[in-house]
Amino acid sequence: MSGRMGYVKFGGGDVESGPQPLYPAMLESPELRWAFIRKIYVILAVQMVLTAAVAGVVVAVRPISHFFVSSTGGVALYVVLLICPFLLLCPLYYYHQRHPLNLFLLGLFTISISFAVGMSCAFTSGKVILESAILTSVVVIGLTLYTFWAARRGYDFNFLGPFLFAAVLVLLVFSLIQILFPLGKISVMIYGGLAAVIFSGYVVYDTDNLIKRYTYDEYIWAAAVLYLDIINLFLSLLSLFRAANN
């Protein structure tokens, strides 16, 4: 046997030729793009851990959730905390390339959303929370792997952008109608199912942008967008399973 093994094919190239591009006609260095992707997923993992910790405290310490729903001051503060993520989106987008302010804003944004997630879970059974968390994890991991696989083979999901945006507008109108004129458990289940499908599409769309379109200075905004996709998917499944469970 010769002292050197033959080269091994992988993903359309050989190992000895170095890192392979993530998608066809890639002009940049694969090492830089992989480093960029790893940075985003590290930030995203920290966000998810922080969300689980904050939401866990809100759920475990019952006086916290009861304070926000049983007193006038608590309800007013709860509304402020719900509006806070939307208010933080503008400065987060404007300063997403200014370090370390971008990290500080991202932390506040994550904590405020984590509190909202905790309040949503506080009055939900543990079984429903567990089912939603497991299904969210499976869907996100599966769609992420599929998008990387598809991008490697030349597929492009940029065309989904206008359709997903239109779907979110329909979803917002649907939720407004549901608030003003409650339609019952079936409508809540329909809303949760539609929202889960829409945000699953956003996971694919934003992962495709992560692979191909975001620049290296946009890692904070890319992490925030993916985080929102995952949280919205989880909350959609939570509302669906909670309505079905009731």
Is residue 106 in a domain?
yes
Indicate whether 17 pLDDT > 60. Answer: no
Quick: pLDDT tens for 124-155: 888 999 999 999 999 999 999 999 999 888 88
Contact 11, 19 (CB under 8 A): no
Q: Which residue has the higher pLDDT, 152 or 245?
A: 152
Q: What integer best gives the mean pLDDT of the chain?
A: 85
Over residues 5-12, the mean pLDDT reads 37
Q: Is 6 inside any structural domain?
A: no
Dihedral of alpha carbons 204, 176, 110, 62, sign: negative
Specify if 119 maps to a domain. yes
Query: Is 2's pLDDT higher than 70?
Result: no
Percent of the chain scoring above 70 in pLDDT: 89
Provide mean pLDDT across the span 104-116: 92
pLDDT(10) > 80: no
> What's the rounded mean pLDDT across residues 14-38?
72
Report for 103-112, 120-129, 171-180: range of highest mean pLDDT? 103-112
pLDDT 10s digits, 189-221? 888 999 999 999 999 999 999 998 888 889 999
Is residue 238 a part of any domain in this protein?
Answer: yes
Residue 5 lies in a domain: no
Per the domain annotation, does 58 fall within a domain? yes
Q: Which one has a higher pLDDT value, 109 or 9?
A: 109
Give domain status of residue 208, yes or no: yes
Report, as an integer, the average pLDDT of 149-163.
91
Tell whether 1 is covered by a domain: no
Predicted model pTM: 0.86
Predicted pLDDT at 178: 80
What is the per-residue pLDDT across 31-50, written as a single tens digit (0 to 9) for each? 888 889 999 999 999 999 99
How much is the pLDDT for 8?
Answer: 35
Q: For residue 36, what are the domain limits? A: 20-245
Domain count of the fold of the chain:
1
